Structure 1
Amino acid sequence: MTPYLSIEHVEKRFERNGVSSHVLSDINLRVERGEYISIIGHSGCGKSTVLNIVAGLIDSSSGVVILDGKEVRDPGPDRSLVFQNHSLLPWLTVYENVALAVDKVFKRSKSRAERKEWTLRHLDMVNMSHALHKRPSEISGGMKQRVGIARALAMEPKVLLLDEPFGALDALTRAHLQDEVMRIQGELHNTVMMITHDVDEAVLLSDRIVMMTNGPSATIGEILHIDLPRPRNRIALANDPRYNQYRQAVLSFLYEKQRKVEDLGQRRQSSDSKPQAQARA
């Protein structure tokens, strides 16, 4: 069966001042329609690079990304991206920030009245109908992220890309927004790929968690399937043995298995350098 989103043998190298940096090595991932995928790993492992390649913001050095049967070559409205920073235009109101994206995507396919109704529907979906005429400087950080999510969803993307969307928020606001995203994804059944550093967030929201090895030449180390029924309740899951087993599995990879891989690599480097040292002696 052909996957909805396919990342095939993706590599990424950056060149700077004649020095090549190998960031990603042989990334392979198949995502089904309606799946919620989280990518987790230590800082610098290339998580955001993977997301930006899927978004079409940067090119891979080799390999290919295929979405719904078409190769991804450039940015497009079929992939909307929500950043950790809300990225709202400060001179526009809440309504205007979302309407701008709606007009861009649906100007030819929807009438002005339909576009207005579509914009209002998505702002209501994230509970921001009360702040339509406020500017970003007049609302909280959590509200700004709600508007950013509404704008991304209003574009009706095939894949919603989230780059640590809750990372800059306080714990209570983050929990509320996570619940909102779960509710919306349950209603729309949209395909989501999210970058996170938060183990609990990944287990709570995801169908699968993709665990990255450390760079350079980072790759997918393990993929964990999360078999927890939906809708999910964070309070109930706190005492669920399976939830805690999944959480432990991710922590084990990040802090134990990853360290063993690094130690093995260091030993190999050390053993490779010994013959060279002996030859110089």
Structure 2
Amino acid sequence: MVPYCKIDHVDKVFTRGSASTCVLKEITLDIEKGEYVSIIGHSGCGKSTLLNIVAGLTPATAGGIILEGHEVNEPGPDRAVVFQNHSLLPWLTVYDNVRLAVDKVFGRTKSRAERSEWVMHNLNLVQMAHAKDKRPSEISGGMKQRVGIARALAMEPKILLLDEPFGALDALTRTHLQDTVMGLHEKLGNTVMMITHDVDEAVLLSDRIIMMTNGPAAQIGEILTVPITRPRKRLELVSDPSFLKCRQRVLEFLYERHRYVEAA
């Protein structure tokens, strides 16, 4: 069976003057439709570079990305990205920030009223409809990220790309947003690829965790399947044997890589 998204033998080399650095080497990964995949590894292992290649923001040096049978070679609305920085336009309201994306994607296929309804539908999904007339400076960091997620979902992407979307948030806000994203994934069945440094976050949200070796020339070191049924409830997982076993394996992998760096 043809995979929904295929990362096919991807290499990435950055060249600056006469110096070249291989960041990624022979990255191959199949992602199925509706799957939630997390990429984890130490800083500098090329996680965000890989996500940017899937997004079409950075070209691969070798290999490529196939999404639902089509090669990815430029940015497109079928791949929506949510960055650690919310990237909202400060002069636009919450509503207008989402509306901008909706108009761009559906300007020719939905009426003005349908687009407005679609904006509000996605703001309701992330519980931000009440703040539709506020500007980014008037809402909290967690609320800004909710709007960013709403904007991404409103594009109806084939794959949602999350680049450490909760990394700049306080622990409580981060927890609430993790629960929001987990609930959205269970409700919508969307395909998600997420970059994270947080082991508990990866185990809580993911179907599979892709563990990267250290750079340069980082590769996929191990792929861990998370055998926890959905829907998942955070408090119940605290003592769940499968959760604890997965958490331990990811920590062991990362610790082994850390020792490797220290010995180098």
TM-score for the superposition, normalised by structure 2: 0.98
* Correspondences of 1:63-142 after superposition (within 5 Å): 63-142=63-142
Pair 44,261 (structure 1): closer, same or farther in 2 beyond 3 Å: closer
The offset of 1:198, in angstroms, is: 0.1
Q: Residues 213 and 258 of structure 1 are in contact (CA less than 8 Å); yes or no, is this contact kept in structure 2?
A: no
Aligned residues, how many?
Answer: 264
1:184-211 CA-partner distances (Å, limit 9, x unpaired): 1111100000000000000000000000
Aligned to 1:180: 180
* Correspondences of 1:254-269 after superposition (within 5 Å): 254-256=254-256, 259-260=259-260, 263=263, 266=264
Aligned to 1:279: none
Distance in 1 between residues matched to 2:129 and 2:250, nearest whole Å: 38
Distance in 1 between residues matched to 2:57 and 2:180, nearest whole Å: 27
1:157-191 CA-partner distances (Å, limit 9, x unpaired): 00000000000000000000000001111111000
Distance in 1 between residues matched to 2:58 and 2:170, nearest whole Å: 31
Distance in 1 between residues matched to 2:191 and 2:129, nearest whole Å: 25
Distance in 2 between residues matched to 1:260 and 1:16, nearest whole Å: 27
Distance in 2 between residues matched to 1:118 and 1:251, nearest whole Å: 41
Which ranges in structure 2 are unaligned for 5 or more consecutive residues? Answer: none
Distance in 2 between residues matched to 1:260 and 1:62, nearest whole Å: 27
Q: Supply the AA of the counterpart residue of 1:40.
A: I
Which runs of 4 or more aligned residues in structure 1 lie more than 4 Å from their structure 2 counterparts after TM superposition? 260-263
Q: Secondary structure of the residue that 1:169 maps to in structure 2?
A: coil
Aligned to 1:273: none
The offset of 1:8, in angstroms, is: 0.6
Q: Secondary structure of the residue that 1:30 maps to in structure 2?
A: strand
Distance in 1 between residues matched to 2:137 and 2:248, nearest whole Å: 40
Aligned to 1:28: 28
Q: Secondary structure of the residue that 1:6 maps to in structure 2?
A: strand
Distance in 2 between residues matched to 1:173 and 1:64, nearest whole Å: 36
Which ranges in structure 1 are unaligned for 5 or more consecutive residues? Answer: 267-281
Aligned to 1:269: none
1:39-73 CA-partner distances (Å, limit 9, x unpaired): 00000000000000000001000001000000001
Q: Residues 211 and 221 of structure 1 are in contact (CA less than 8 Å); yes or no, is this contact kept in structure 2?
A: yes
Aligned to 1:270: none
Identical-pair percentage:
69
Q: Residues 196 and 202 of structure 1 are in contact (CA less than 8 Å); yes or no, is this contact kept in structure 2?
A: yes
Distance in 1 between residues matched to 2:199 and 2:224, nearest whole Å: 12
TM-score for the superposition, normalised by structure 1: 0.92
Distance in 2 between residues matched to 1:13 and 1:146, nearest whole Å: 34
1:198 maps onto 2:198 in alignment: yes
Q: Secondary structure of the residue that 1:25 maps to in structure 2?
A: strand
The offset of 1:257, in angstroms, is: 5.3
The offset of 1:258, in angstroms, is: 5.8
Distance in 2 between residues matched to 1:54 and 1:147, nearest whole Å: 22
Q: Residues 214 and 257 of structure 2 are in contact (CA less than 8 Å); yes or no, is this contact kept in structure 1?
A: no
Q: Residues 118 and 154 of structure 1 are in contact (CA less than 8 Å); yes or no, is this contact kept in structure 2?
A: yes
Q: Supply the AA of the counterpart residue of 2:83.
A: F
Aligned to 1:13: 13
1:224-268 CA-partner distances (Å, limit 9, x unpaired): 0001011111110001111000000000001025635885xx5xx
Range with greater deviation from structure 2 (199-208 or 233-242): 233-242
